[in-house]
Each structure stands twice: as structure tokens, then as C-alpha cells.
Amino acid sequence: MEITVAHPYTFRCQKRTSKKTKRKCNVNVSIFKKTFFFRVKLSVTTVAEFVFIYFNRPPPRIKYIERELGLTQKTIVDFCSFIREVIIFWASKNSTVIGGEGKIVEIDEAKIGKRKYNKGRYLEGQWVFGGIERGSRNFFLVAVEDRSAGTLVDIIKNKIAPGTTIFSDCWRAYDSLGENQYKHLTVNHSVNFVDPDTGTHTQNIERLWVEVRKLVPRFGRTKRHYEGYLSECLFAMRHPDHRERLHVFWKMAGQLYTPPAH
């Protein structure tokens, strides 16, 4: 089959369908078919600039991108969701069990996004449960509907390896951890930040919440997008160098949107 370039980003089949009439197939196929760029109504240059800004500027980004690239807010919001799909895919590929024998994992829950609105009203936030392994960059973040023992312990069993030493506050949902193949130590935050007898503290997970709150959008967020927000936090903190982020992002986009073989 003969293939010629009919457009900078389109291949046209030049195979003859009839020897008598010399008619050609002339089927056009975009080189972007089933790739990250397929059906995107933005130029390749604009997409590249958009992704660059996305990974180099913390939220809020919409006004900045609107001004720099001349895009509508709807286009910006839609394409941000498109980027998050790739990041969620990356998170699914890089989700690992943390902790293990001789390792310490700090756990905690935090409400993200609760803020005062107007006339004394508050906008309700989202509970997030997290754990961070000391001495590494390994951690997990999970949006939860409640902080019950059933919810949190199930996540701990899935995310933290047996034999791990777990540090937490005195939230009653953690009371059964010592019965589930973990060594469990607590610190009573109403008394002190570091337990004077055991040295137990959760300062690393507390610092993690500071970073998470910086990265989760303050405005326009919805609960159904929290998987994307938290995956983005994991991605940004796992790859702090923006050049590495760009490299990993395009690599994952290539894996998620694999073009058909010819």
C-alpha cells in the first residue's frame, strides 16, 4: 500500500482500487489517531505549551492560561481533566504497598477544602486518608466518605505491608491495628506533639497535608475529581523536578493512548 502525506498530520492511502479506472482509495488517516492528540482542537504547539504551564504553575491556573494561550475557560477546564486522566493512569501504574518489617509509616486523616464562604457559611470539604513511609518518598492518599474503623482499616490493609510499625494519633478507628499484624504506637495531640516516652510523632504526615493543600485547587473543585487531584499530588511530589514531570507525563500519555499498528 502506498502512503503519501496529504496534510502535515494526515496520511492518505494511494492504493488503486481498480486497474481499469485507476481509481485510488484516498482514505485519510490522522497520524494522531488514538493518541493523546486525537480529536484535540488545539495545535500541537498549544498543547505542548498548555502541558508545560500545567506542570510549572501551581493552582489556580485558569486565568493565567486564559491570558497566555487565549483559550476559553471551558476549553481549559476540559483539557485539565484530560491531563488528569493521564496522571490517574500513572498513579494506577505506580501504586505500591508501603512499609514492611523494620519500617515506620505515619497515618492521619485531614479534611481538604473546607473554607468559609460568605455570611458565615462554610463550604464542605473532602476527607482524605493518607500514610507516609519514613526515610522514603513513598506515601498514599485516598479520598474517603467517612473515618470509620471499617473504612480506614481496610485501606491500611491494602496500602501498608504487615509487620509495619504504624504511628498515629489517638483516633479510635485505629484501636484494632495491633490485632492486624502491625505494631501500633500513638501520640495524644491534646497533650503533646511528640510522645515523651516512645518518641512517637506524626509530623511527616502533617507536613504532607501542607503540600496537599497547596496542590489541590481551591476553587472549582468537585468531589468526583478528587481521585485526579490526589493523583496529581502524588505525581508532583514523586517527581519534584518539572523537567522530569514532563518526561514522565509524555511517556505515560504514550502508554495510555497507544496508536494502532500499521
The per-residue pLDDT for 62 is 87
For 91-135, the pLDDT digits (tens) are 998 888 999 999 999 999 999 876 544 445 555 678 999 999 998
Coil/strand/helix, residue 95: coil
Q: What is the pLDDT, as a whole number, of residue 207?
A: 93
The helix (run of H) or strand (run of E) holding residue 236 is helix 226-238
Amino acid letter for position 195 = D
pLDDT digits (tens, 9 = 90+) for 6-37: 345 666 666 666 666 666 666 666 666 777 77
Separation of alpha carbons 106 and 26, rounded Å: 62
Question: Cα(108)–Cα(200) distance, rounded to whole angstroms?
Answer: 13
Q: What is the distance between the alpha carbons of residues 43 and 41, in angstroms, rounded to a whole number?
A: 7
Residues of the chain with pLDDT under 70: 1-32, 39, 114-124, 219-220, 259-262
Closest CA to 226 of 131, 152, 125, 147: 125
What pLDDT, on a 0 to 100 scale, did the predictor assign at position 6?
Answer: 36
pTM beyond 0.85:
no
Q: How is the chain split among helix, strand and coil, in percent rounded to 5?
A: 40, 20, 40
Dihedral of the CA atoms 208, 134, 162, 128 (nearest 10)?
Answer: 0
Provide the residue type at 215 as one letter: L
What gap in Å lies between CA 161 and CA 164, rounded to an integer?
A: 6
Antiparallel, parallel or unpaired: β 165-168 and 126-133: unpaired
Candidates 165, 184, 163, 162; CA nearest to 173 is 184
pLDDT of 77 = 86
Q: Give dist(CA 203, CA 190) in Å, integer.
A: 15
